Amino acid sequence: MDDPSLNGGYSQPGNWWRSSNTISGGILYDWGVHLLEYSMQLIDSPVTEVSGFAHRGFWAPKTTWKTDTIDDEGFATVRFKSGQWLTLSITQIDSKGKDGWLEITGTRGTLVLDERHSTLYQHQHGKQITTRLPNPADEGFRYYENVRDHLVKGRPLVITAEWSRRPIHIIDLAAQSARNGRALAAKYG
């Protein structure tokens, strides 16, 4: 990737497969699916509606992919039957950036996760309390072990096709919504 300091603070997409809309599916498909999967483990309610927004064209002329470059940023709002909602934002044009890569906000506090630690913000007795927590060790290797054990030993998959359908459906609806300029009802809760 290019040095953001050379681009007014923006993070230019690199000239690799992840920057091609056709190959990667777009900015929300790449990391968005993982962030949605994490978030949806916390919300046990059917999806009712998805709104998507996208901005394109700032980086495209500066990349190998030109008009096939991924969006500069993508944003989705997902509504659930329970009244909860989540927002997903992935950007390459916000020069401020975000604190952490996942923020979970609830009535008793906000948890912000980054690669190394999590920070919990709470109001207790009229004061804001900030607690820094270590993240558990990465266990992403377990996914691949599970796939291997499924193929070799017939063990059940932890992440099933049914589970995967929800985040992919949300991203697909967000992309359609961004193109059509309106919220779309979910088919798969």
Q: For the segment 51-91, what is each residue's pLDDT rounded down to a tens digit?
A: 999 999 899 998 889 999 999 999 999 999 999 999 999 98
pLDDT for the residue 98? 76
- pTM for this one? 0.81
Distance, CA of 79 to CA of 69 (rounded, Å): 29
Name the residue ranges covered by the structural domains of the chain: 4-185
Q: Could you say which architecture CATH assigns to the domain 4-185?
A: 2-Layer Sandwich (3.30)
pLDDT for the residue 11? 63
